[in-house]
């Protein structure tokens, strides 16, 4: 399927700093907009319906799946998440290039539908740093954090299937890299080049 604008997909394990990075990206690159997903999980903290997510029941979500209203959907950490066609199409109709902040399963579904989509994976600089960030945000119960850390092992292993890889050690550096990807897709940020340039990080994350 062809789209009138560009489509960027950003995936990462929880705690890698994806939301902060994407928020900063949008401030610097006003031609981009992020699609608001649907989810069956409950709102956290200050989250409001229609802002971070459209919060829906499992029934509503399943009806939307059956009606073909999602470009992709996936079960992530025990809840359903999906990218609605209408959300993406509305942004494209406004002349925006679109960013999807979704999990790796959804990213690979998007690539099947839109081969021109550019898939970006955000890596933490180390497992220790990822664990510290998850504990530090203080939003989740210890058992939820433990589950997310366990899932992160499998999620990080998917990075090789993505076009571009960004290591989020320093926010400034990672943001500069992400901006470079949306502007000019540099070969230096492709998976193989990043692995050659950062062998220690990749080895520590079991991606060597
Ligand atoms: P959280 O509940 O922490 O906001 O998100 C949990 C995970 O679900 C994150 O990896 C997030 O990127 C992913 N996610 C959010 N929206 C979507 C979506 O529409 N589709 C898919 N496949 N994953 C999503």
> 10 Å Cβ neighbour count for 139?
11
Question: Per-10-residue mean pLDDT for the chain, 208 residues long?
Answer: 90 93 97 97 94 97 98 95 96 95 98 96 96 83 88 95 97 98 97 97 94
d(CA 75, ligand 1 centre) in Å: 9
Nearest-atom index, ligand 1, CA of 38 = 19
Ligand 1 pocket (Cβ < 6 Å) reads 14, 37, 41, 72, 74, 76-77, 81-83, 101-103, 105-106
CA-nearest residue for atom 11, ligand 1, is 102
User: Residues within the annotated binding site for ATP?
Assistant: 12-19
Sheet holding 37-39, edge to edge: 53-55, 37-39, 79-84, 70-76
Read out DSSP for 38-71? EESSPP-TT--BTTTEEE--HHHHHHHHHTT-EE
* In-domain check, residue 109: yes
What is the distance in angstroms between the CA of the first residue and the CA of the last residue of the chain?
34
CA–CA separation, 203 and 25 (whole Å): 28
* In-domain check, residue 152: yes
Instruction: Burial-class residue 106 by CB neighbours within 10 Å (0-12, 13-18, 19+).
Output: buried
What's the ipTM? 0.99
Instruction: Write the DSSP symbol of residue 167.
Output: E
Which stretch of DSSP H or E encloses residue 157?
none
Number of H helices, E strands in the chain: 9, 9
Tokens encoding 74: 């996936």
* In-domain check, residue 18: yes
* In-domain check, residue 101: yes
CATH number at residue 133: 3.40.50.300
Full-model pTM: 0.95
* In-domain check, residue 132: yes
d(CA 3, ligand 1 centre) in Å: 22
* In-domain check, residue 117: yes
Instruction: Burial-class residue 20 by CB neighbours within 10 Å (0-12, 13-18, 19+).
Output: middle
d(CA 74, ligand 1 centre) in Å: 8
Nearest-atom index, ligand 1, CA of 70 = 19
Please state the domain count of the chain: 1
* In-domain check, residue 102: yes
Show the domain range for 197.
7-35+96-204
């Amino acid at each position: 399927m062809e789209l009138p604008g560009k489509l960027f997909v950003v995936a990462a394990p929880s705690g890698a700093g994806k939301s902060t990075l994407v928020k900063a990206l949008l401030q610097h690159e006003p031609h981009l907009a992020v699609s608001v997903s649907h989810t069956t999980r409950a709102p956290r903290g200050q989250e409001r319906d229609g802002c971070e997510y459209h919060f829906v029941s499992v029934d509503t979500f399943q009806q939307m799946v059956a009606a073909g209203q999602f470009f992709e959907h996936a079960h992530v950490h025990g809840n359903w998440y999906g990218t609605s066609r209408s959300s993406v199409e509305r942004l494209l109709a406004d002349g925006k290039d679109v960013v999807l902040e979704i999990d790796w399963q959804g990213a690979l579904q998007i690539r099947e539908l839109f081969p021109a989509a550019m898939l970006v994976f955000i890596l933490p600089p180390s497992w220790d740093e990822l664990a510290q960030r998850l504990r530090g945000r203080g939003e989740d119960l210890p058992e939820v954090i433990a589950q997310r850390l366990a899932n992160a092992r499998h999620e990080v292993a998917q990075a090789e299937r993505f076009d571009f890889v960004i290591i989020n050690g320093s926010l400034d550096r990672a943001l500069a890299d992400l901006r470079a990807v949306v502007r000019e897709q540099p070969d230096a940020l492709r998976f193989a080049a990043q692995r050659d340039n950062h062998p220690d990080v990749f080895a520590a994350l079991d991606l060597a």
